[in-house]
Structure 1
Amino acid sequence: MSCGRPGGHPGAAPGLTECRHTLYVPPVDTIRHTSRRTAARTTVAAAVLLPALLSGATTAPAAADEAKPPKPPENMSTVGGERLGLPGTQVALGPGAPKVPKKLTARSWIVADAESGDVLAAHNAHWRLAPASTIKMLFADTLLPKFEADTVYEVRREDLLELGTNSSAVGIEEDHPYTVHDLWNGVFVRSGNDAVHVLAAMNGGLEKTAREMNEHAEALGARDTHVVSPDGYDAEGQTSSAYDLTLIARSGMQKPAFRAYAATAEADFPGEWAEEGKKKPKEDDGPREREHFAIGTTNRLLIGSHGLEPYEGLAGVKNGFTSEAGYTFTGVAQRGERTLLVTVMHPDDDEGANRVYEETADLLDWGFAAAGKVTPVGELVPPRGAQAPPGDPTPVGDEKNAEGTAAGLTASEPPASGASGVSTAVGLIAATGTVLAAAVWFVHRRWPTARD
């Protein structure tokens, strides 16, 4: 949202019109409920600062400590390879390989080959950091198979009660029906926390959804990831890593519906009832039309906005921002026969939101230039049970066929109608559907063993 508040996503052009549809403000009688953590922090801060203010103190002793940049842990996970557990930049340049871009400020980043799983270079790959809305990739990878795209759900007031104050939102209204397809557009295109909460309600609630996301992360080998708030809103103990987010994105991009939503640049989203009064129709009123409004992606690198050019061959995946996580982004792009995944977490934000996209683009450029000229420093591990026996192109425990479809996933394929303005990345998806949907798991059978 362009408003730049916690949980927001600075993707679309700023302005009051944008914020009207992308900012959810809870009803007055629910603000106390949704802001308990914020209120508690405010109360503690007031108790600490009030004596100093009354005594006339004007300095903050902790300011100097807060200004020091955090350091990565000395001991991190070694899932995917020993070097990935080391702090600092890990790269093994060969003859003719370009040097890693200078002036990268991200606390953590990774460049990986989406097909082979080779990690070309990484920086603090397993540093556990707040993920912001990039965790929505795990939310989607976990829940997409569960609901058919044309299923209609009428939103209840209680579905939105736990929505964090100033969350990014697509503009969902209680007592209004939405299709699952609409809700996934809200999640992917506008990064709407309200859409996440409604889908989570359909799934049995936030706690159940977080538990299932954690179980799915464990199955993928994403052991740095712990979900507390499925929408990515800052929560104590919620972490992921550049390595994990890349692993999750790789899993998601094998699903046709995930790929299609991730590459959608804009869509029409249902609004109020079109007729006079804008009230919910009664059963005997007959069919009623809905107003629709356009929603546009918050992924600046996908479409090119705020002074950035679209990145050639980019096909998603997800951006995010909160006050604790800073700016985060995972992107997938293809050039020629090579498809790369890059994740960047928490760069310096002195220059605003563009920094995370600029550093992603620099790392993608480097990866395409360096591929074949560097020795991999690690690998993206396969999901649990994905090892295939010799001669069998389908991994054990994976029900996908050779075309990359899956029982239970085809129902989640987004219908052709209802979305428009898909960026040039759709061409990439059409060209590389076989690569991302089948070859990632099926062609490369010699998988590394997950290690801690």
Structure 2
Amino acid sequence: MSARAWLVADAKSGSVIAAHNPHWKLPPASALKTLFALTALPRVPGGALRTVSRSDLAGVGSGSSVVGVKVGRTYRAADLWRGTFLRSGNDAVHVLAAMNGGWRSSISQMQAKARALGARDTKVASADGYDAPGQVSSAYDLALFARAGLNNSQFSRYAATANSRFPSGTRSDGSHTSSYPIQNTNRLLTGADGIGRYPGLVGIKNGYTSKAGNTLIAAARRNGRTLIVTVLNPQRGDGLTVYREARALLDWGFKAVGHVKSLGSLNQPVR
């Protein structure tokens, strides 16, 4: 493993069976969108509608990943959530944040949610995970977000979706007049770029920024057990190394769980 920090945990029990620098505070990139989803999904249900204004998209960072949200079009929140989970669309997050009470309010809500979950390593400065001064999380905290997400049916459904369509034309009720295909950027879920789909994978979220490097939260089920792995900023190889290292951790974890001593729990910080 070359990642600066990583962790392997059992989703049901919360037992952490392996970790390296689990509380090292590092930039999370778009893996932080998991915390945004946990915070905003209950307040912005899939059927909610929004006609996008210029102010909604103000502040989308230069070079951001986007799904193609257009000013003046009306979108259903479900489409925006798919744009967030599959294409890591910062444009979609900005519109959803507007629906959630605004950008600053969403950041405050995310910070409060992190504290409620026991995620004390996380400092939120940008709701979409775009690099911002002081914004950090940890392998441990990201695993907490994943575990909470797996207990939310909406979150789980979006996080496990490999392919969908995004509207390129809409009516006033948010229905599509035209659309285009979108694919999840999580290669362990789609098998793209020669990585191969990981058996039993159920999501959850990958990310990349120049400051954070590549980040990934992945969860997989096998024989009735679900494991969560987090991998932050591999130091070797290319941009696909994060998937190879996550795969290695999942393979090891399914063999080792039940045969190794727990380091601690997602209910109690690992030291």
TM-score over 0.5 for the pair: yes
Secondary structure of 1:130's aligned partner: coil
CA contact (8 A) 2:164 2:182 kept: yes
Equivalent position to 1:380, from 254, 262, 266: 266
Question: Residue in 1 aligned with 2:164?
Answer: 267
Question: Residue in 2 aligned with 1:421?
Answer: none
**1:451 shift after superposition:** 9.0
Distance 1:145 1:299 in 2: 24
TM-score by length of 2: 0.96
**1:288 shift after superposition:** 9.0
Alignment pair present for 1:138 and 2:35: yes
The amino acid of 2:206's aligned partner reads N
Cα RMSD (Å): 1.8
Secondary structure of 1:270's aligned partner: strand
- Flag as ranges the 4+ runs of structure 1 deviating above 3 A: 286-289
Equivalent position to 1:368, from 247, 250, 254: 254
Distance 2:13 2:22 in 1: 18
Question: Residue in 2 aligned with 1:335?
Answer: 222
Query: Aligned residues, how many?
Result: 271
CA contact (8 A) 2:119 2:141 kept: yes
> What pairs with 1:27-426 in structure 2 (closer than 5 Å)?
104-272=1-169, 290-348=177-235, 350-381=236-267
TM-score by length of 1: 0.58
Output one character per residue of 1:326-384: Cα deviation in whole Å (capped at 9) or x when no partner.
00000000110211000000002x53221000000000001011111100011001xxx
Secondary structure of 1:168's aligned partner: coil
Inter-CA distance 323–251: structure 2 relative to 1 (3 Å threshold): same
- Select the structure that is richer in strand: 2
Output one character per residue of 1:102-152: Cα deviation in whole Å (capped at 9) or x when no partner.
xx1000000000011110010000000000000000000000011221111
Inter-CA distance 151–122: structure 2 relative to 1 (3 Å threshold): same
Inter-CA distance 146–287: structure 2 relative to 1 (3 Å threshold): closer
Inter-CA distance 121–152: structure 2 relative to 1 (3 Å threshold): same
Distance 1:307 1:203 in 2: 38
Question: Residue in 2 aligned with 1:69?
Answer: none
Distance 2:174 2:88 in 1: 30
Secondary structure of 1:316's aligned partner: strand
Inter-CA distance 271–243: structure 2 relative to 1 (3 Å threshold): same
Secondary structure of 1:146's aligned partner: coil
Distance 2:176 2:212 in 1: 41
The amino acid of 1:224's aligned partner reads D
Distance 1:257 1:340 in 2: 19
Distance 1:199 1:115 in 2: 30
Inter-CA distance 204–358: structure 2 relative to 1 (3 Å threshold): same
Output one character per residue of 1:250-301: Cα deviation in whole Å (capped at 9) or x when no partner.
001100000000000111111036xxxxxxx8x9xx9996211111100000
Identity of aligned residues (%): 51
Secondary structure of 1:209's aligned partner: helix
Specify every segment of 5 or more residues in structure 2 that has no aligned partner in the other structure, as ranges: none
Inter-CA distance 254–288: structure 2 relative to 1 (3 Å threshold): closer
Secondary structure of 2:251's aligned partner: helix
Distance 2:185 2:264 in 1: 31
Output one character per residue of 1:71-110: Cα deviation in whole Å (capped at 9) or x when no partner.
xxxxxxxxxxxxxxxxxxxxxxxxxxxxxxxxx1000000
